[in-house]
Homo-oligomer: A and B are copies of this chain.
Amino acid sequence: MSERFDTLAQHFRENGHKLTQPRQAILHALLVAPKPLSPAEIQEQGQVFYADLGLVTVYRTLELMEEMGVVRTVHLADGCHGYALATPGHTHHVVCERCHAVVEIFGCELGEFLQSVAERTGYQITGHWLEIAGICANCQQMEK
């Protein structure tokens, strides 16, 4: 079990949740995933670790993880959402339009911009949500 896994397990216990086999399978699936996964994909990958994993449990566990802040919703253009493990701190994603590879961007240079938005609109800004689309180096190669 990776250190990362233990940290996540900790979160579950600290919040008074059981660390069941289905939940462990979901964690493992997310840990090895190279990109955000849809609930259906999480079930599929999770069944490698726990064969009977049900889709309903995936939804319920993601909801729980979202409450605990250990998973991040990535809003995909086609309406259904992918999920990736949250990394400490605030990050954004760049998603490849072709192969859906995802790179996480650490740090967020939006502070000043958001400040000016607050002034212009009178809104108290509570959060933001940026996703960047592009074409990854690999896919750029292939297009030639």
Binary CB contact string for chain A from 88 to 111 against chain B (1 if under 8 A, 0 otherwise): 000000101100000101000110
Chain B residue nearest to A92 in the complex (CB)? B117
Would you call B133 and A130 a contact (CB within 8 A)?
no
Would you call A132 and B114 a contact (CB within 8 A)?
yes
| Chain A interface residue count, Cβ-Cβ cutoff 8 angstroms | 38
Interface-centre pick from A79, A105, A120, A123 (highest chain B CB count, 10 A):
A123
Q: Is A80 positioned at the interface, with any CB of B under 8 Å from its CB? A: yes
For the complex formed, measure the closest distance between the CB of A88 and the CB atoms of chain B, giving whole angstroms: 19
**Residues of B with C-beta under 8 A to A128:** 130-133
Q: How far is the CA of A127 from the CA of B128 in the complex (A)?
A: 17
